[in-house]
Amino acid sequence: MDTVRFNKHMEAIGELQQAGSHAACLDAIRAMRSEILAAPDPAQLGWARFYELRALFELGRHDEALAALARPEPVGYVIGARNAAWMSSVASEMAMNLGRIDDLVRHGRACLESRSGADRILCCETVCNLLWVVGRDDLNREFATELVELGRRHDDRPAVVRGLHAILDACAIAPDPDLLALVRRTETAPDEDIAARLASVAATPPATSIAPGPGEPRFLSAAPAASPAPAELSLTRCDGQAWFDPDSPHDRRVVGLEPAVAASPLARGYASVEVDSIEHLRVSAKPETIGGHTTIIFQQWGPPASDGGRPYFWLDRATASELGATLRRTPARRLMLLFTTVQDGALRILADALIDGRPAGDFRMETLALAWYFSGDDITDDDHHVADVAYAATRLQVRRLSVLTGGWNAACDRRLAAELSAATTLESFAVFAKDEAHTWPQLTAPLVDALVGRS
């Protein structure tokens, strides 16, 4: 294509892109590409590929975008290093969204190869964050160690610290003595958060994508721990400290009472983030805090009362809708809800909001734990409770379902088993009794257990 015509095409494509008309932009790009192939020009074809990927990315057509990136061309093409790095970077992000972890890492490596000097820092940080989001920090070693080295080489202390955090993320899943030794050697200027995380990771058994993580209350897990001590069964297990205490030196996963207080960076090294309002959840819903293996522990508290206290709230429909919409923007697949009781239909609204706009069968929740915790109410109080729990578990394709309740009986077991008949993804179920001693004894649910065993 002659240069004048190519420039006119590019000008029109730029205007469509600026206007946000990405579908029309894609059509224009593909028409231009066909013309280029009739009279091939390597540089022009490279620009066509770049803008095609960009349009598909903006349209959210990630699978199609990755296919276009992998598509062989009948002739050669040239793409500048900066554009190639950008393409690889967004390809990693799209692969993450599609759950294609091998492609995420592969495109991350390609991005790193396309960059030079200090620009490589951003690439390493991006890949480490993407792997954090999907809970696969065990794959970040090459990027995290390179990030530390680049930070040292370019006298970028924040990059070094971020690299050390990423290494500790990896070691929290798959402990590696060499990596821990690297952290100790590198941390010549002591950082309180790094030191605390290093001690915690070195002393804590590795987390997995299934087992409860550090600080995660036991009733999230359907399999009882061997000979558990009473303290291990308490929902206030987080180092024995009160929840939502911004001044506690022990429980650093907390989101404080004031809107300006966000989760500590140390939350990155823990499996749980505790949230006391929708507003605080929105503040916390970022890759640095919430990843694929994070458990969200949510309880809706009311505004401060005149006596300085805060009332516990039920889970109403409005809150459930906002909660689902907010969680939909995070990669979290583990959710614990604490409440006085649940409004009729609230759990259904939560489930629908969580998967709104997703392709059928695309969303699967690892864990759903429901606790009638703050009052004398329980799952047997209203007929809708059991039906709503089963609807949420089925709709969200829950793998592990747990309930904490003050009341449980054979009729509840029978009805829940019947309502869960379509929950084919359910692999475990556990019900625990709420008691004043906070020992949470596990109750029997033979019919639900039999159903889970069959599936």
pLDDT digits (tens, 9 = 90+) for 77-108: 999 999 999 999 999 999 988 888 899 999 99
The answer on 225 and 186 residing in a single domain is no
The answer on 78 and 35 residing in a single domain is yes
Query: What per-residue confidence (pLDDT) applies to 292?
Result: 67
Q: Each residue of 332-367: b (16+ CB within 10 Å) or e?
A: bbbbbbbbbbbbebbbbbbbbbbbeeeeeeebebbb
What confidence tier does 288 reach under pLDDT thresholds 50, 70, 90? low
Q: Using an 8 Å Cβ cutoff, are 319 and 344 in contact?
A: no
In this predicted structure, which of 59-73, 115-129, 168-182 has the lowest mean pLDDT? 168-182
Residue 348 has pLDDT above 90, yes or no: yes
pLDDT digits (tens, 9 = 90+) for 234-284: 223 333 333 333 343 333 333 333 333 333 443 444 456 778 788 878 877
Residue 209 inside a domain? The answer is: no
Q: Using an 8 Å Cβ cutoff, are 292 and 304 in contact?
A: no
Higher-confidence residue: 387 or 358?
387
Q: Domain count of the chain? A: 2
Q: How distant is the alpha carbon of residue 447 from its chain centre? A: 33
Q: What is the average pLDDT value for the chain, to the nearest integer? A: 79
Cα dihedral 387→390→391→393 (10° resolution):
160
Q: Using an 8 Å Cβ cutoff, are 374 and 271 in contact?
A: no
Last residue of a domain, one of 161, 178, 203: 203
DSSP string, 298-309: EE-B-PPPTTS-
Query: What per-residue confidence (pLDDT) applies to 25?
Result: 93
Task: Report, as an integer, the average pLDDT of 273-302.
Answer: 75
Query: What per-residue confidence (pLDDT) applies to 433?
Result: 87
Query: What per-residue confidence (pLDDT) applies to 267?
Result: 43
Q: What is the DSSP letter of 205?
A: P
CATH number for the domain harbouring residue 67 = 1.25.40
Query: What per-residue confidence (pLDDT) applies to 306?
Result: 77
Higher-confidence residue: 166 or 455?
166
Residue 212 inside a domain? The answer is: no
Last residue of a domain, one of 143, 176, 203: 203
Residue 211 inside a domain? The answer is: no
Question: CA-CA distances (angstroms) from residue 351 to 13, 210, 335, 358?
Answer: 40, 21, 11, 12
The answer on 317 and 283 residing in a single domain is yes
Last residue of a domain, one of 203, 227, 242: 203
Cα dihedral 351→213→412→438 (10° resolution):
-130
The answer on 240 and 340 residing in a single domain is yes
The answer on 274 and 129 residing in a single domain is no
The answer on 273 and 133 residing in a single domain is no
Q: Using an 8 Å Cβ cutoff, are 217 and 336 in contact?
A: yes
Residue 316 inside a domain? The answer is: yes
Task: In whole angstroms, give the CA distance from residue 197 to residue 165.
Answer: 8
Task: Report, as an integer, the average pLDDT of 180-205.
Answer: 72
Query: What per-residue confidence (pLDDT) applies to 136?
Result: 83
Domain extent for 306: 218-454
pLDDT digits (tens, 9 = 90+) for 393-431: 999 999 889 998 988 999 999 999 999 999 989 988 989
Residue 378 inside a domain? The answer is: yes
In this predicted structure, which of 33-47, 56-70, 122-136 has the lowest mean pLDDT? 122-136
Query: What per-residue confidence (pLDDT) applies to 446?
Result: 94
Integer Rg of the chain from CA: 25
The answer on 50 and 82 residing in a single domain is yes
In this predicted structure, which of 191-200, 223-232, 378-387 has the lowest mean pLDDT? 223-232
Query: What per-residue confidence (pLDDT) applies to 193?
Result: 67
Residue 230 inside a domain? The answer is: yes
Higher-confidence residue: 201 or 333?
333
The answer on 230 and 182 residing in a single domain is no
On the 0-12 / 13-18 / 19+ scale of CB atoms within 10 A, 150 is buried
DSSP string, 303-358: PPPTTS---B--B-HHHHHHHHHHHTTS---EEEEEES-B-TTHHHHHHHHHHTTS
Query: What per-residue confidence (pLDDT) applies to 417?
Result: 94
The answer on 223 and 367 residing in a single domain is yes
Q: What is the DSSP letter of 455?
A: -
Task: Report, as an integer, the average pLDDT of 44-57.
Answer: 94
The answer on 309 and 278 residing in a single domain is yes
Query: What per-residue confidence (pLDDT) applies to 33?
Result: 93
Residue 215 has pLDDT above 70, yes or no: no
The answer on 173 and 311 residing in a single domain is no
Query: What per-residue confidence (pLDDT) applies to 439?
Result: 73
